[in-house]
Structure 1
Amino acid sequence: MPAFTVASSYSRAVGYFTSTSLALYARGIETFAARGGSMRLIASPHLNEDDVVDIERGYDLRAVVERATMRELEQVEPETVLDGLGLLGRLIAEGRLDIKLAFVQQEGRVGIYHEKIGIFRDDFGDLVGFTGSSNETFGGLMANFESVEVYRGWVAGDGTRALRLETDFQALWANQTPHLSVERFPDVARERLVKLGHDRPPRDLPGTDSALTPTPAETDEPTRLALPDWLKVRGYQREAITSWLSHQGRGILKMATGTGKTKTAMIAATQLGNVLRQREQPLVVLIVAPLIHLVDQWITEVEGFGVRPIAVYESSQKWLPLVQEQLAAARMGQRPFVVMVATNASFSGEKFQSALSRINLPLMIIGDEAHNLGSAAYKSSLPQNATYRLALSATPERWFDDEGTDSLIDYFGPIIFELGLGKAIEMGALTRYEYLPRLVELNDAETALYVDLSAQIAARIASGDNLKDADPNSPLGFLLRQRAGVLGHAEGKLEALRADLDARRNDWFQLIYCAEGRRPAEPGDEPGPKQVLEVMDLVGNKLHLSAHSYVSETARPERKVLLRRFGAGDDLRALVAMRCLDEGVDIPDARTGYLLASSSNPRQFIQRRGRLLRLAPGKDRAVILDYLAVPPPGTSINFNVERALLVRELERANEFGKLSENYETTLQVLRPLKERYQLMDM
């Protein structure tokens, strides 16, 4: 401001301009203008993704720059900004302000002009040159932490530096700087400013800094990740992040469900962003999660770290403009972070893949429940331009898919940190638990169907099919699913469940996991009812307990309401789930789980156990009741095949029991079954 009061000319080259920054210029040059001063401005145009692509494809450069400039001027709303632009328009009309636009254009690629220099001269020939980090924006001048070096022409040593800055500016103005394109301010934009100057009467601009309303890109709107004040970084999280950074920002975190993988990833992204910020580089963070409700949870988590992310799911009309706008702002140096959270489906879609392929900024991808990304449907969509890669999963190994597991490791890197359930419980990151297996015998009809399926499975194995590596979609895999359906839908489980629920009828925070689909029947017969409906009838109509189903058909808004009601501890005693409440759903208050489904997929039962072991106020332990259906003693079945199949069932019970508080009880319950099938060594 003091320099403006005595200067006769001002030459400024700066990273970028927006409507508000032009108005901020106007506030500083009222006195300067009244004294007849003249000004030259070089700035970088605010190009979005479409602009950059058009330039790289050879579209007319002036037309694209004109479009970008007019888009910026047409977004002007606050009256004070319009008044400032009106003054600039009058200066242009009087020939005392000239503007040019600069950007990097080299080898078919477009970059931003990010230099920041300025030169004042007075009528006596003295000059002041300065260079520094600040743009001439509301944030750069009034809010940010910036540094500026000032060289006075009349001081020995400073004069040479000031003259060098002036020479650099002259070369810029003449478009003689290598690798830079410097274009005239578009005529149509010039005319827009001149018209504003003609239409708006001269008036004094506000004298207080708060009078200007800056555009969102220039305010202190949260755009930088920062650790929340309330967050206490655990020692194992610090160890995991250190390991990831030491592996050049690549690797897989294999951490037990409930140990804070999400927060660990956010801390890693924050630390990486801080490092890049020191190099004046932005960071684009892409988080990919399998389901919409997980995306919603990630959004809440990211907002806790100070940035509002873009939700990439459903209609691209909602998210694509935001993606383009924020990536353009990051390229211009206006945003240190861009965070996008996408479902697997939207991430792999054509529109998002197109936008993703054009990102030439530092990119970090976080794969949540990353085992899903090893499937054939998604692994080809993983961005090769992501410098930093972090995979999160309690079970990164894909079940019966070694090739998919290898592709995950090839892309994300090896497992660089592992926190198992036992250690997590020992260190207090998860709650302790009791495991109560319930053995339920099949009835006569179920036993007959079970024996028939077991015979077909034995025939498949005898013909060379491998039980251990059975493809779920193969004929053997189909028979195994049918057999699991018989076990999962065993009628005896409902009576056992009724007794256990009745004994706990005054408890809150109970989850019931039902088998999928309908009860299997003999070929030609109609399938039986859905177990989830039978359980709802049992809980609500027969035991008169407050409960609600939580299934794939449950609408997203209703799911949020149900989880809130469940967590209140004074409304719903139980949630009855089928295929839901597995991956990533955050319900730490859950204390008692009833497992009716019969699954030998380790991922499913590990995820379900993890839902129950999260820490919560007032929760000192959890209880898991596991219903294991078996054929009655003396059933005529191929002993060796049945023994091999039973091993798969007992592996879950062993996995659950060995880390429980009551392992001895588990061994006692399972002992008769192990003795019958000579499995005492398990």
Structure 2
Amino acid sequence: MAHKIPNFINVRDYQKDAISSWYNNNGKGLLEMATGTGKTITALSLSANLTKTVGKLAIIVVTPFTQLSLQWVEECRNFNLLPIKAFENKNKWSPKMEQYIDAYNENLLENICIVTTNATFSQKTFQSLLANLKNPALLIIDEAHYFGAKNLSKSLPEHINFRLALTATPERWMDEEGSERLLNYFGNKVVYKFGLDQAIKEGFLTRYYYYPHLVELTPDEAESYVELTLKIRKLSHQAKVDKEKKEIMNRLAIKRARIIYSAHNKMNVLRGIIEKNINIKKSLFYCGDGKVQSDVNIEVRQLDGVMSLLRNEFNIEAKRFTSSEPNKTRSKILTDFEKGEIDALVAIKCLDEGIDVPSTQTAYLISSTSNPKEFIQRRGRVLRKHKDKHHAIIHDFIVLPPNPYDFYEKEDEMFNIERAQLGKELQRFAEFSNLAINGPEADNVIWKVKQKYNLLDM
């Protein structure tokens, strides 16, 4: 069977433009496309066209997670490819991969396709087999921002002539070197952009309502936050010249950030939202790794606290969706969620990258970091089109830290750093509200925060 675009898939004009731009950059490039705009279809349509052009093609697809790799396997089959699932048990996939590569190199096969994960791709076994592959070959890296990391970037093969990177967030957060490494490998260029605003405007993604909810720290949390802040301030000048002091300061900053991620009152705010909402079906709840105080004053993981609240207090059929569940279990959970047999999924990070849950109606962002990649991915999960969905709803939990005006002098360098950090957080909220159906209403909440923290100039 020839690798080709199936009749039931209509390649959209913007996807055709993305493919043309990649060709014009000598078969290398990065596609910056919003989550939910069909990066997989674009990539496989590109590879089908490339097969026609060059006569034969080996395709290597790399994704960050097994669940996402399994989705790629299914999509590849639609394009008349028979992919090897090169992840999990090495004894099963490595002999088959070796045979496929040998057959391709001897011109016995016109197309081979290997789908793997970041972890397997970087292993010695996979790398040694890949080194034997002859061109023409196409490397497709999905959620490519991971490969800006120093260790992963070392596994990118120089001998493969065609290279395609896919991501909604090509710039790595606080890592200019990593972002540059990524671009360098993929032809020094983002060859095509298709942003969220354009995707919503043109009807490829669902419009949404955005509801930011302000969360106050408890007195004890606020006291700990201020105490850590003052310690960080004390170390800040020494940390510039003393590596050990810098490491101590970073540990204190992480400890302080956890206070925000795990703020106890998030559970109270969530309880209030659910009490006002009759329908919780088709909901995603994003939690953090931290712990919260339960109602009986026992520390539990935030995820477990949310699960308990949904199931025990509100009798909501909720399932956890984390990396701890086996692949088969996760696949069944997604199927049951799609059928409506499960009302809610409670996740940490496992749903961030590319996993399709298009029927999702509502997302609760209980914990998000300042990393733009995270909130862009999470917003994208709920904006995918679905026949039963007219709009989406996003509830965003905004924890208010103590005001830096309360414990810093305005001339203090750390005061400006803290103020700038708050400003960055507000940029995230503003981006959410700018594209929302109820933008002015959401902006009003953000304006109140700016007013409280004297950030009206940001």
Shorter-chain TM-score: which interval?
A: over 0.9
Inter-partner Cα distance in structure 1 for 2:359 and 2:457 = 36
Match of 1:511?
284
**Distance (whole Å) between structure 2 residues aligned to residue 475 and residue 249 of structure 1:** 46
Partner of 2:290, secondary structure, is coil
Residue by residue over 1:138-158, the C-alpha shift from the partner in whole angstroms, topping out at 9 and shown as x without a partner, is xxxxxxxxxxxxxxxxxxxxx
Q: Which residue of 1 aligns with 2:11?
A: 233
Whether the 8 Å CA contact 1:253–1:417 is kept in 2: the answer is: yes
Counterpart position of 2:427: 651
The residue number in structure 2 matching 1:454 is: 229
Q: Is the 8 Å Cα contact of residues 285 and 366 (structure 2) preserved in structure 1?
A: yes
Q: What stretches of structure 1 of length at least 5 have no aligned partner?
A: 1-221, 467-472, 521-525
Please name the residue that 1:439 is paired with: 214
Q: Is the 8 A contact 2:31 2:166 kept in 1?
A: yes
Offset at 1:517? 2.7
Cα deviation code 1:13-55 (max 9, x no counterpart): xxxxxxxxxxxxxxxxxxxxxxxxxxxxxxxxxxxxxxxxxxx
Which AA in structure 1 matches 2:65?
L
Distance 1:474 1:310, change over 3 A: farther
Deviation, structure 1 residue 533: 0.9
Cα contact 1:454–1:642 (8 A) shared by 2: no
Provide the C-alpha distance between the structure 2 equivalents of 1:549 and 1:527, rounded to a whole number of angstroms: 20
Alignment pair present for 1:317 and 2:91? yes
Matched, 1:260 2:38: yes
Match of 1:382 among 144, 156, 178: 156
Q: Counterpart of 2:307 in structure 1: which amino acid?
A: M
Say whether the 8 Å CA contact 1:546–1:574 is kept in structure 2: yes
| 8 A Cα contact 1:485 1:519, kept in partner | no
How far apart are the structure 2 equivalents of 1:665 and 1:532?
Answer: 29
Query: Closer, same or farther in 2 for the Cα pair 1:382/1:485, shift >3 Å?
Result: same
- Kept in 1, the 8 Å contact 2:32–2:168? The answer is yes
Quick check: 1:485–1:598 contact (8 Å CA) kept in 2?
Answer: no
* Greater length-normalized contact order (CA 8 Å, ≥ 6 residues apart): 2
Write the distance in 2 (CA, Å) between the matches of 1:622 and 1:477: 38
Give the AA of the match of 2:29.
Answer: G
TM-score using structure 1 length: 0.63
Deviations, residues 322-376 of structure 1 (Å, cap 9, x unaligned): 1122222223333110110111111111111111111123111001111111111
Distance 1:554 1:474 in 2: 34
How far apart, in 2, do the equivalents of 1:254 and 1:308 lie? 27
Match of 1:299 among 45, 48, 73: 73
Instruction: Tell me if 1:485 matches 2:258.
Output: yes
CA-CA distance at 1:492 after TM superposition: 1.2
Distance 1:458 1:657, change over 3 A: farther
1:166-224 Cα shifts (integer Å, max 9, x gaps): xxxxxxxxxxxxxxxxxxxxxxxxxxxxxxxxxxxxxxxxxxxxxxxxxxxxxxxx3x2
- For residues 597 and 651 of structure 1, the distance between their equivalents in structure 2, rounded to whole angstroms, comes to 17
Aligned to 1:549: 320
Question: What amino acid does structure 2 have at the position aligned with 1:387?
Answer: N
Q: After TM superposition, give the deviation of residue 549 of structure 1 in Å.
A: 1.2
Query: What's the secondary structure of 1:454's corresponding residue?
Result: helix
For the structure 1 residues 306 and 658, does the alpha-carbon distance in structure 2 shift closer, same or farther, using more than 3 Å as the test? same
Which residues of 2 match residues 17-96 of structure 1 at below 5 A?
none
CA distance in 2, matches of 1:412, 1:475: 37
Q: Tell me how far 1:484 sits from its aligned partner.
A: 2.3
* 2:332 match: secondary structure: helix
Distance in 1 between residues matched to 2:216 and 2:361, nearest whole Å: 27
* Residues 589-600 of structure 1 aligned to structure 2 (within 5 Å): 589-600=359-370
Residues 239 and 249 in structure 2, CA contact (< 8 A), matched pair in contact too:
no
229-238 or 672-681: which moved more? 672-681
CA separation of 1:637 and 1:567: change in aligned 2, threshold 3 A: farther
Rg larger for: 1
Q: Distance in 1 between matches of 2:173 and 2:355?
A: 21
Matches within 5 A, 1:144-159: none
Change in Cα spacing, 1:399 to 1:609, as seen in structure 2 (3 Å) is same
1:681 aligns with 2:446: no
Residue 611 and residue 463 in structure 1: after superposition, are their counterparts in 2 closer, same or farther (change >3 A)? same
What's the CA shift for 1:669? 1.0
Q: For residues 412-440 of structure 1, give each alpha carbon's deviation from its aligned partner in whole angstroms, at most 9, with x where no partner exists.
A: 12100011111111011111111100011
Q: What displacement does 1:633 show?
A: 6.9
Residue 604 (structure 1) aligns with: 374
1 CA distance for matches of 2:177 and 2:300?
37
Q: Is the 8 A contact 1:485 1:515 kept in 2?
A: no
Alignment match, 1:536: 307
Question: Is the Cα contact below 8 Å between 2:105 and 2:133 reproduced in 1?
Answer: no
SS of the aligned residue for 2:291 comes to coil
Separation in 2, partners of 1:614, 1:232? 17
Once residues 434 and 247 of structure 2 are traced to their aligned partners in structure 1, the CA distance between those partners, rounded to angstroms, is: 33
1:529 alignment partner, SS class: strand
Q: Which amino acid aligns with 1:320?
A: S
CA distance in 2, matches of 1:247, 1:564: 40
Counting aligned pairs with the same residue, the percent is 38
8 A Cα contact 1:398 1:405, kept in partner: yes
Distance 1:673 1:544, change over 3 A: same
Report how far residue 411 of structure 1 moved. 0.6
Equivalence for 1:624: 394
Name the residue aligned to 1:399.
173
Q: Would you say the 8 A contact 1:587–1:611 is kept in 2?
A: yes
Could you report, residue by residue, the CA deviation over 1:466-485 in whole angstroms, capped at 9, with x for unpaired residues? Answer: 9xxxxxx9544433332221
Q: Residue 336 of structure 2 corresponds to which residue in structure 1?
A: 565
**Matching residue within 46, 64, 77 for 1:290:** 64
- Distance in 1 between residues matched to 2:236 and 2:370, nearest whole Å: 18
Farther-moved stretch of structure 1 (292-301 vs 316-325) = 316-325
Q: Report the AA paired with residue 212 of structure 2.
A: P
Given the alignment of the two structures, is residue 580 of structure 1 paired with residue 353 of structure 2, yes or no?
no
CA spacing shift, 1:384–1:236, aligned 2, 3 Å: same
- Kept in 1: contact 2:43–2:140 (CA 8 A): yes
The whole-number CA distance in structure 1 between the counterparts of 2:314 and 2:276 is 11
Partner of 1:494: 267
